[in-house]
Amino acid sequence: MKIQNDLGQDPIPRLVLHLAVPAMVAQFVNVLYSIIDRMYIGNIPDIGDLALAGVGVCGPIVTLLSSFGTLVGLGGSILTAMKLGEKKPKQAKQIIANCFLMLLVFSLTLTLFFFLFRETLLYWFGASPVTMPYANTYLTIYTAGSFFALTAVGMNYFITCQGFAAVGMVTTLLGAVVNILLDPVFIFVLKLNVAGAAIATVLAQFSSFLFVLLFLRSKKVPIPVTLGGYSLPLMKRVLALGFSPFLIMASDNIILIILNSVLQRHGGAQGDSLITCATIVQSYAALITGPMLGISGGTQALISFNYGARNKSRIKEAEKYILLLCLAFTTVMFLISRFLPQYFVTLFTKDPDLLTLSVWGIQTFTMAVIPLSFQYVLVDGLTALGCCKASLSLSLFRKSSFVAFTLLLPVLFTAKHTFYAEPLADFISSAITTVTYLLLMKRFFRQM
């Protein structure tokens, strides 16, 4: 495989694989950050299940913080790819410089906010008096290193959009390996428990941050990261392009926060057990949605570049192969979800009741993952073409549907039925997105 891909000349099927597979692996490995933490935490003697529930409350907040890296990085990389397709390297360089500044501002602001309000937020988001100490410890330490997480995630997009997909994969692989090695040391050897898991994660993110910064400052990249040339209108343009994928990630985590809160409120004495179950289910679901985001997000540079070059046939061909790859992946994961989820659950808990509940939760939560391929690929395709209003509206519809079902189902039935909210929202929104996309693209290509 070539180190750098020619987005305007290489064959589309090969480009899709060269861009999507490393991005899939990178997202999969990125998911391992939280899964490895939770796996080790769930096996801490005596406190494992309660500690897992506490960290489960933090999980959506942690990912919400990282999604701000996607807001800047993905929006900026789409615009950068367009400028590279238009043969405007100076403007591409200015975009990267502006994005680096925005990541710095976002990380400092979010760190301060979560330090000041973390305890209140954790109670709102589903922590109980029993699980609060574990949740507070984990979030406090993680927040201290949020700059490394945001910058590593955000700037890594500028490696991929310049054709270095394999290097972008190495960024997350490096962080995951560091996390895997340090977790057992800090949790069990040094006996730091939940605090150890958080410290290991921050150090892993620091290693990814350092790698990204050094690579983007090297002579290997055509457009390195620099300082200066700041422009408020340009920053607004970046945020507008990145807002739809940011909303997908951020609202996913806001919804999970709502889910935890609903389970705690309607679950009664089973509230903490249901949140532990939801934590395991969400960890499994991330193994599907993370690589899906890698496929659809990792190939956006290909679509954006050819949009900048005004090459309609390559855009259409790219979308076709991206969708086929995503459908193949989700079909395999759907089958695994039907027959093998118990092997995943046993990594977190040995409690028989929790094991049974979590296997059922995984099978329920993933009922509509195959049609969800259309939602991810087509919405991200619209974003890559600059159709931000359409992609944002479609994303909002899916999220609002999920929230509506999450709030309604436990009232009509039981707290356990809340797990049906995900497949219902996924199936309905995927159907509407597909129809909308076909209508919009017919008009879009005619105008183009």
Q: What is the pLDDT of residues 115-155, one digit of tens each?
A: 888 888 888 877 888 889 999 999 999 998 889 989 998 99
Does the pLDDT at position 45 exceed 80? yes
Q: For 192, list phi and psi in degrees, rounded to 5.
A: -95, -5
Hey, what are 388's tokens?
Answer: 């931000």
* pLDDT attached to residue 103: 95
Answer yes or no: is pLDDT of 8 > 90.
Answer: no
pLDDT in tens, 149-182: 899 989 999 998 887 878 888 888 898 889 889 9
pLDDT at 256 over 80: no
Check residue 155 and give its pLDDT: 94
Confidence of residue 366 (pLDDT cuts 50, 70, 90): very high
Where does 225-351 have alpha helices with state H?
232-266, 271-298, 300-308, 312-339, 341-345
Instruction: For 203-214, write each residue's pLDDT tens digit.
Output: 999 999 999 999
- In this predicted structure, the answer to whether residue 386 has a pLDDT above a threshold of 70 is yes
Nearest Cα to Cα of residue 253 among 219, 214, 279 = 279
- pLDDT tens per residue, range 186-195: 999 999 988 9
At residue 200 the predicted structure's pLDDT band, cuts being 50, 70 and 90, is very high
Nearest CA to 257 among 363, 397, 406?
Answer: 406
Model confidence at 1, pLDDT cuts 50, 70, 90, reads: very low
Q: Which residue has the higher pLDDT, 6 or 293?
A: 293
- Residues 317, 15: Cα–Cα separation, whole Å: 11
- Please state, in angstroms and rounded to a whole number, the distance separating the CA atoms of residues 392 and 240: 10
| 352: number of Cβ within 10 Å | 8
Cβ neighbours of residue 284 under 8 Å, at least 6 residues apart?
337, 341, 344, 362, 365, 366
Helix, strand or coil, per DSSP, at residue 363: helix
The reported pLDDT for the residue numbered 338 is 93
Spacing of C-alpha 331 from chain mean position: 20
pLDDT score for 431: 96
Q: Residue 328's pLDDT is what?
A: 96
Mean pLDDT, the chain, whole residue set: 87
State the Cα–Cα distance between residues 281 and 53, nearest whole angstrom: 12
pLDDT at 262 over 90: no
Q: Is the pLDDT of residue 333 over 90?
A: yes
What are the tens digits of pLDDT across the range 88-116? Answer: 999 999 999 999 999 999 999 999 998 88
pLDDT > 70: percent of the chain = 97
- Amino acid 202: pLDDT: 93
What's the CA gap between 240 and 380, in Å, rounded?
14
Question: 418, 406 in Cβ contact below 8 A?
Answer: yes
Q: Using H for helix, E for strand and C for coil, what is the string for 201-244?
A: HHHHHHHHHHHHHHHHCCCCCCCCCCCCCCCHHHHHHHHHHHHH
Residue 215 has pLDDT above 50, yes or no: yes
Mean pLDDT of 328-336: 96
pTM of the shown model:
0.70
pLDDT at 175: 87
Q: How many CA atoms lie within 13 A of 313 on its CB side?
A: 3
- pLDDT of 33 reads 67
The CA angle 117-75-381, to the nearest 5 degrees, is: 120
Task: Over range 225-242, report the average pLDDT.
Answer: 91
3-state secondary structure of 131: coil
User: What's the confidence (pLDDT) of residue 5?
Assistant: 64
User: Do 330 and 25 contact (CB within 8 A), yes or no?
Assistant: no
Please say if the pLDDT value at position 425 is more than 70. Answer: yes
Burial (CB count <10 Å: 0-12, 13-18, 19+), residue 319:
buried
- Give the confidence band of 11 by pLDDT, cuts at 50, 70, 90: confident
Of 328 and 261, which is predicted with more confidence?
Answer: 328
